[in-house]
Amino acid sequence: MAGYTKLFCALTVFLSASANGFYLPGVAPTSYNEGDAVQLSVNHITPSLMKADEDSATFLYSFDYYFERFHFCVPEEGKQKQSESLGSILFGDRIFNSPFELKLLQNTTCNKLCTVTYPAEDASFVNKYIRAGFQFNMMIDGLPVAKELMDSQTDDIFYSSGFNIGYDDKENLPHLYNHYDFFIEYHPRSDGSYRVVGATVDATSIQYIDPDEINCNAEVFEPVRLKEDEQTDVTFSYSVYWVPSDTAWATRWDKYLHVYDPKIQWFALLNFSLIVVFLSIIMSHILLKTLRNDIKKYNEVNLDDDMIDEMGWKLIYGDVFRPPKNPMLLSVLVGSGVQILLMALTSCFLAAFGLLSPSNRGSLATVMFVLYSLYGLIGSYYSAYVYKFFQGQDWKINMFLTPVLVPGTIFSIFILINFFLISVHSSGAVPAGTMLAVFLIWFAVSIPYSCIGSLLALKKKAIELPVKVNQIARQIPPQPWYMRTRYLALIAGIFPFGAIAIEMYFIYNSIWFNRIFYMFGFLFFCFLLMLVTCMLVTLSLIYFSLCNENYNWQWKSFFVSSGIAIYVFLHAIILSRLKLGGLTSIVLYVGYSMLIAATVGIMCGTVGFLSSMYLTLNIYGQIKVD
Ligand SMILES: *[C@@H]1O[C@H](CO)[C@@H](O)[C@H](O)[C@H]1NC(C)=O
């Protein structure tokens, strides 16, 4: 028991250390002098978890800040898009300049921005998204402008990035926030310059009586109500307060990365993970011992006729390496699986050790994309290698299909989803130029790399089969119903899914509601746990299947192991409890859930297949066959 507690502590320390290591500076700090202009930029308007109206539908797509139906004030010099990394664009960032003027250390109050007129139909448009809880995402010096919140369990103050565009009052009437009080925290440095270390906002809704004489500090005022049957004039205004702070630049992200979710029982979660680790160790131990005993027994016994009935997996040695049906597809899937798996592991590892900071927007996505292209080499290598193991002859088709099939399918789904996004004028729609860039990078980097990989594998000698394949296929005896692949997949999927279920919840929040995802240390740990459980469960089931004299292990191991995809998809669909608004949100949700489930399925299937391949090559290599 003491050992268990120690292990638990060590693990907690490791996880929190890797979480703290996260904000190594991703970008160089900017120092300002008093009176310097500090730019406030505006990012897209996104859905959030904080709905104004609980019963309102959830929308999953975002809008440009300057989308015309919102009528937000445009800067005098005109709106300008800021250049962003590829990853940042792909993940939806659309950053523009803003009309807000901020000068370091100069408090200004009640600055008027502009007065706009909302026609009735745009008023109902804005009201709809106020109800759905859409929020602004503004940025100052790379930091998100946040709402200050309090953790009800620990009373810690933390920052939740973004703030709602409006609120619902007690009568369920939506009101638009048109006045923003920015509180910018600065940290004075010894050389007399200053750094921005935090930014929060208080938004209010004020119906100004005279747009030329705005008094944003009035004690009593009417909130803005956008009328859905006539025009409404709204004046926007803001105040800026500079607040000194002790927070150093290096730790300025701390408050933003507060883990706040009362639903998550961390302790129980860690306990569960440890139980899984523990069970995995026992299971691998038993499996190894059984196999060793089997091999020892087989090599001692002379092949007496009456012994044959009890021989188990040795009986099928002449068929176990018989190529499966559709060897091409399986090898291509395994190649893609290796590629995705390596990409996911590496980027998760880099993120866990703080190399991809949240201040460097989109770095994670960019790194994922680049890694994926580069790993095409290893993916294709494995694809060709496995294809050769299946004694396939059409290596040219294999070389072509590996970099095309899976990425091409993903890309097509992406384009399809994009059309839906365009139809609702969402900013999430990836611009044609970026699509083209992605396509070209894929062509220019991924495909040549893949070809090199395939050729390397072809040069290599094929795996030497430890036993010869018989001319005539052996008949497979009738199998019990529960040994069917689909039932085994259902059984095998549960355990690895348990390892990542919690992580999926956070990943979905970050995908759909623009939450910062930062628990990469924990994700990395869960990810490894998932792979190990996948492997062990699949190996055990394949062992039983071989003992039942069923030598079709190739597809079986892939499918059984990818059973986790079923749970990932069902979890997304059933447990989401989202009331989705409109066809586009549904298509987005189902489409992305399917993509995620399929990706996880291919990764796990690959792990299951490769480990079963290793198992069969090993055990049949160790028995004596005459
Ligand atoms: C600006 O306002 C903040 C918040 O009210 C206050 O703490 C600070 O002292 C003010 N700064 C100046 C220079 O007046």
Query: What confidence tens digit (pLDDT) does each residue in 432-483 have?
Result: 888 898 888 888 888 888 999 999 998 988 888 888 898 888 888 899 898 8
User: What phi and psi values does residue 112 have, to the nearest 5 degrees?
Assistant: -85, 135
From the CA of 105, give the closest atom in ligand 1: 13
Statement: residue 176 has pLDDT above 90:
yes
pLDDT at 205: 93
pLDDT at 386: 95
Measured distance CA(381)–CA(338) in Å, rounded: 10
Q: CB under 8 Å to 2, separation ≥6 — which residues? A: none
Q: pLDDT, tens digit, for every residue of 127-149?
A: 999 998 899 999 998 899 999 88
Q: For ligand 1, pick from 109, 238, 241 the residue to mutate: most ligand atoms within 8 Å of CB.
A: 241
pLDDT at 5: 42
Distance, CA 145 to ligand 1 centroid (Å)? 18
State the CB neighbour count (10 A cutoff) for residue 394: 12
Cβ 34 under 6 angstroms from ligand 1: no
Of 487, 611, 483, the closest CA to residue 548 belongs to 483
Distance, CA 240 to ligand 1 centroid (Å)? 9
Statement: residue 29 has pLDDT above 80:
yes
From the CA of 244, give the closest atom in ligand 1: 7
Distance, CA 106 to ligand 1 centroid (Å)? 8
Nearest CA to ligand 1 atom 7: 243
Distance, CA 412 to ligand 1 centroid (Å)? 53
pLDDT at 14: 42
Helix ranges restricted to H, 548-581 = 553-561, 564-575
The strand pairing partners of 238, in sequence order, are 111, 180
pLDDT at 266: 63
Q: Is 97 exposed, middle or buried (0-12, 13-18, 19+ CB in 10 A)?
A: middle
- CB–CB of 403/446 below 8 Å? yes
Of 335, 334, 366, the closest CA to residue 350 belongs to 366
- CB–CB of 538/612 below 8 Å? yes
Distance, CA 34 to ligand 1 centroid (Å)? 14
Q: CB under 8 Å to 114, separation ≥6 — which residues? A: 73, 74, 99, 235, 236
pLDDT at 26: 47
Statement: residue 71 has pLDDT above 90:
yes
pLDDT at 19: 40
Helix (H) or strand (E) holding 584: helix 582-622
Cβ 242 under 6 angstroms from ligand 1: yes
Distance, CA 238 to ligand 1 centroid (Å)? 15
pTM comes to 0.85
Residue listed under structure tokens 């800021």: 82
* Single-letter residue type at 140: I
pLDDT at 299: 79
pLDDT at 8: 43
* Single-letter residue type at 34: E
Statement: residue 367 has pLDDT above 80:
yes
Per-residue tokens: 421 = 């996004």
Distance, CA 1 to ligand 1 centroid (Å)? 55
Cβ 241 under 6 angstroms from ligand 1: yes
Nearest CA to ligand 1 atom 9: 243
Nearest CA to ligand 1 atom 6: 243
What percent of the chain lies above the pLDDT cut of 70? Answer: 91
Measured distance CA(479)–CA(545) in Å, rounded: 9
- CB–CB of 601/559 below 8 Å? no
Statement: residue 318 has pLDDT above 70:
yes
Helix (H, G, I), strand (E, B) or coil at 168: strand
Cα angle 392, 397, 402 (rounded to 5 degrees) comes to: 100
The two beta strands, 179-188 and 194-204, are antiparallel
Distance, CA 241 to ligand 1 centroid (Å)? 6
Cβ 105 under 6 angstroms from ligand 1: yes
Of 42, 49, 59, 44, the closest CA to residue 93 belongs to 44
Statement: residue 323 has pLDDT above 90:
yes
Please give the average per-residue pLDDT across 309-320, as a whole number: 80
Q: pLDDT, tens digit, for every residue of 575-588?
A: 666 678 888 988 99
Distance, CA 147 to ligand 1 centroid (Å)? 19
Helix (H, G, I), strand (E, B) or coil at 190: coil
Q: What is the mean pLDDT of the chain?
A: 86
CA distance readout (Å), 75 to 80, 96, 233, 564, 613: 9, 10, 19, 50, 62
Nearest CA to ligand 1 atom 4: 241
Measured distance CA(126)–CA(118) in Å, rounded: 9
Measured distance CA(33)–CA(21) in Å, rounded: 30
Say how many Å lie between the first and final Cα of the chain, rounded: 50
Please give the average per-residue pLDDT across 548-566, as a whole number: 94
Taking 3-state DSSP, the helix, strand and coil percentages for the chain, each rounded to the nearest 5, stand at: 50, 15, 35
Statement: residue 13 has pLDDT above 70:
no
Distance, CA 150 to ligand 1 centroid (Å)? 23
Distance, CA 163 to ligand 1 centroid (Å)? 22
Statement: residue 201 has pLDDT above 90:
yes
> Is 220 or 566 the better-scoring residue by pLDDT?
566
Statement: residue 11 has pLDDT above 50:
no
Q: 203: pLDDT confidence band, cut at 50, 70 and 90?
A: very high
Helix ranges restricted to H, 424-481 = 432-441, 447-459
Please give the average per-residue pLDDT across 348-365, as a whole number: 80
Please give the average per-residue pLDDT across 112-121, as a whole number: 93
Cβ 107 under 6 angstroms from ligand 1: yes
Q: Which of 117-126, 234-243, 473-482 has the lowest mean pLDDT?
A: 473-482
Q: Which of 7-11, 87-91, 238-242 has the lowest mean pLDDT?
A: 7-11
pLDDT at 463: 84
Statement: residue 277 has pLDDT above 50:
yes
Q: Is 269 exposed, middle or buried (0-12, 13-18, 19+ CB in 10 A)?
A: middle
Long-range Cβ pairs for the range 431-437 (8 Å, 24+): 431/89, 434/86, 434/89, 434/90, 437/86
Of 230, 242, 45, the closest CA to residue 135 belongs to 45
Nearest CA to ligand 1 atom 12: 107
Helix (H, G, I), strand (E, B) or coil at 619: helix
Measured distance CA(494)–CA(485) in Å, rounded: 15
Cβ 248 under 6 angstroms from ligand 1: no
> Is 185 or 623 the better-scoring residue by pLDDT?
185
Cβ 245 under 6 angstroms from ligand 1: no
pLDDT at 63: 94
Q: 7: pLDDT confidence band, cut at 50, 70 and 90?
A: very low
Statement: residue 44 has pLDDT above 90:
yes
From the CA of 106, give the closest atom in ligand 1: 13
Q: For ligand 1, pick from 184, 194, 239, 243 the residue to mutate: most ligand atoms within 8 Å of CB.
A: 243
Nearest CA to ligand 1 atom 14: 107
Statement: residue 518 has pLDDT above 80:
no
Q: What is the DSSP secondary structure assignment for residue 29, as one 8-state letter?
A: -
Q: For ligand 1, pick from 105, 106, 107 the residue to mutate: most ligand atoms within 8 Å of CB.
A: 107
- CB–CB of 54/394 below 8 Å? no
Distance, CA 193 to ligand 1 centroid (Å)? 17
Statement: residue 2 has pLDDT above 60:
no
pLDDT at 129: 92
Q: pLDDT, tens digit, for every residue of 368-383?
A: 888 998 999 999 999 9
From the CA of 242, give the closest atom in ligand 1: 1
- CB–CB of 270/519 below 8 Å? no
Nearest CA to ligand 1 atom 2: 241
Distance, CA 199 to ligand 1 centroid (Å)? 14
Q: 561: pLDDT confidence band, cut at 50, 70 and 90?
A: very high
Per-residue tokens: 38 = 């500090």
Cβ 108 under 6 angstroms from ligand 1: no
- CB–CB of 87/366 below 8 Å? yes
Statement: residue 310 has pLDDT above 90:
no
Q: For ligand 1, pick from 102, 242, 245 the residue to mutate: most ligand atoms within 8 Å of CB.
A: 242
Cβ 96 under 6 angstroms from ligand 1: no
pLDDT at 3: 45
The strand pairing partners of 63, in sequence order, are 45
From the CA of 183, give the closest atom in ligand 1: 4
Identify each DSSP E strand in 191-308 by its residue range. Answer: 194-204, 232-244
Per-residue tokens: 363 = 């770095």
pLDDT at 259: 65
Nearest CA to ligand 1 atom 5: 241
State the CB neighbour count (10 A cutoff) for residue 571: 18
Helix ranges restricted to H, 320-441 = 327-352, 363-374, 376-389, 395-423, 432-441
